[in-house]
Structure 1
């Protein structure tokens, strides 16, 4: 596998008057960097975090270089160290710095939220100041030469287990540059009590996106499709993704939960979602065989699902198939028949029309009806005279 590296660290450094920023003078500061590894089906990105004093290293691999993974790497590093650094030294990575003009910096709001959660200070490296990045660049070179060479793995979980084992058994057993009588692990034992204590709950790094299942029971995320209940088709939904799972919410209610797939073009299906209206597939196949548009038939069925619900739609589809009339128009006719034979009118779904739900009708003064009744009574009395 071909290795290629690209440096994309993040953060400022020190007093602008200083020509050199010595990060090891700030106990608990942490240079961070990304490292691209390989040309696999999904390109791996290696997250490297290094405590500047002890050189204790945390290494984790991700499939994407997105903000959520950058924050996730930081959270996992803090948990590994059982403490948070006081200063977060970074290199103007877009995940950390949105804009910079001289010493004026606009940090990403999510990074500021993480720093506030752990009470640490973000401090980007100065532009064109390679002396501030030397330690983490050497750490990346060390990862490339010592860990990556000849490494084989099947899953990302297995690869990360190997990375953490390598950090413990190799990286942190090397001699500490500050005193060759100590190892990095022994220097870290001196540094760890000076780290900030962790809060009761870790920072939430989940990725949150608006999604919608348009014509099927699937929503698309990261090149894969995840199923939702048929009742949610066409509604605005919220997808919440971590590195392990994908959850789909309708408002505040969780309606689907899946194990996250890092494959491509896969349909991740909850069998309960498919069983909600399994007959629809048979009807669509039969309609398409008779020259009907599958897209139009699907759209009409979705509208009927919104109006009548799953159970009524299932009964009508079965009847249409039994009568050998596999069309959405036949299903609609049968649903109207069902509604007419019942004592209740067909339901009207207003979920897509919030303005209609917000209409307020002023109550009518009932005295008007009393006046009409008295008026009719007076007319009847006059007619008898």
Structure 2
């Protein structure tokens, strides 16, 4: 992200490009700058817009991203298709990062890479910019940013879908977590927050769990199975009662013949 007037930059590397990750990067950038601008220019990517209209404001936005920008109150603007010059500042910044920071750099992890790029940002934001011939950090003092304290805390939610097993568990990141037994066999939505996730069935929150470290572990909550035994016993009792219903047999039907038939037999008829 780059601020149009001051040319202050923010860079972050991630392992995902989904909408929640994009939103989290926005939050990190806003924190870095100490605020946010009234308008932000975007490429026509699906994480932001689903269907682009001729006028940006008439476009069909990604629902999760729309919730985000409406919460903060900034206006998203979309670049004109096939006109890369409309986002020249960010295109130049990407090239600059590749040449000046990334080329030949070594790192041991994603955390290490982001720590290095933050140190790099301290240097380049304090160095004369090639276009403005001024130091971004000095021009930044003139930026009119909306303060973060005007916006309520925003939680980035990652969503995934899971099927509740017959034994009332769902799987997540190699571990198993219990769900109230009445939802066995149902499809659940996981809303993943920092360190925990919430489970929803038909938009109803049914439980939440702390995310377990490692794998092959089980998080079981006793209350999820309360009442299950009594229901099983009740069902078994009903089945047993049904099996004890006495069987009723109807009398067999016997063919009725005229007495004349028997008289014929006794007289040696039907030769």
TM-score (norm 2): 0.70
> In the alignment, is the contact (CA less than 8 A) between 1:229 and 1:255 conserved in 2?
no
Name the CA shift for 1:52/1:345 in 2 (closer, same or farther; >3 Å): closer
1:162 paired residue among 111, 116, 123: 116
2:105 paired residue among 134, 151, 161: 151
The Cα of 1:228 is off from its aligned counterpart by 0.4
Name the CA shift for 1:236/1:127 in 2 (closer, same or farther; >3 Å): closer
1:62 paired residue among 14, 22, 25: 14
Q: What secondary structure, in the 3-state scheme, does the structure 1 residue paired with 2:117 have?
A: helix
Q: Matches of 1:231 and 1:184 in 2, distance apart?
A: 55
Partner of 2:2: 50
| Alignment of 1:257 onto 2:144 | no
The Cα of 1:149 is off from its aligned counterpart by 2.2
Partner of 2:46: 94
- Give the 5 Å matches for 1:174-253: 174-177=127-130, 179-180=132-133, 182-191=134-143, 194-198=144-148, 199-214=150-165, 219-220=170-171, 224-229=173-178, 234=185, 236-242=187-193, 244-249=194-199, 251-252=204-205
Partner of 1:9: none
Partner of 1:171: 124
Flag the structure with more relative contact order, 1 or 2, with Cα contacts below 8 A and sequence separation at least 6: 2
| Alignment of 1:346 onto 2:227 | no
Q: For each residue in 1:272-306, what CA deviation from the matched residue of structure 2 results, as whole angstroms up to 9, or x when unmatched?
A: 54x98xxxxxxxxxxxxxxxxxxxxxxxxxxxx79
Q: For each residue in 1:25-84, what CA deviation from the matched residue of structure 2 results, as whole angstroms up to 9, or x when unmatched?
A: xxxxxxxxxxxxxxxxxxxxxxxx111111111111221111111111112111211111
Greater C-alpha Rg: 2
> In the alignment, is the contact (CA less than 8 A) between 2:170 and 2:178 conserved in 1?
no
Partner of 2:83: 129
The Cα of 1:256 is off from its aligned counterpart by 1.6
Q: Matches of 1:215 and 1:62 in 2, distance apart?
A: 36
Instruction: State the aligned residue count.
Output: 225
Partner of 2:73: 119
Name the CA shift for 1:101/1:115 in 2 (closer, same or farther; >3 Å): closer
> In the alignment, is the contact (CA less than 8 A) between 2:169 and 2:179 conserved in 1?
no
Q: What secondary structure, in the 3-state scheme, does the structure 1 residue paired with 2:10 have?
A: strand
Q: Matches of 1:114 and 1:259 in 2, distance apart?
A: 28
Name the CA shift for 1:151/1:268 in 2 (closer, same or farther; >3 Å): farther
Name the CA shift for 1:245/1:217 in 2 (closer, same or farther; >3 Å): farther
Q: Matches of 2:168 and 2:74 in 1, distance apart?
A: 43
> In the alignment, is the contact (CA less than 8 A) between 1:87 and 1:123 conserved in 2?
yes
Q: Matches of 1:230 and 1:204 in 2, distance apart?
A: 24
Q: Matches of 1:150 and 1:220 in 2, distance apart?
A: 40
2:217 paired residue among 269, 272, 275: 269
The Cα of 1:231 is off from its aligned counterpart by 5.2
Which ranges of structure 1 fall in alignment gaps of 5 or more residues?
1-48, 261-265, 277-304, 310-338, 349-385
Q: Matches of 2:37 and 2:130 in 1, distance apart?
A: 20
Q: What secondary structure, in the 3-state scheme, does the structure 1 residue paired with 2:81 have?
A: coil
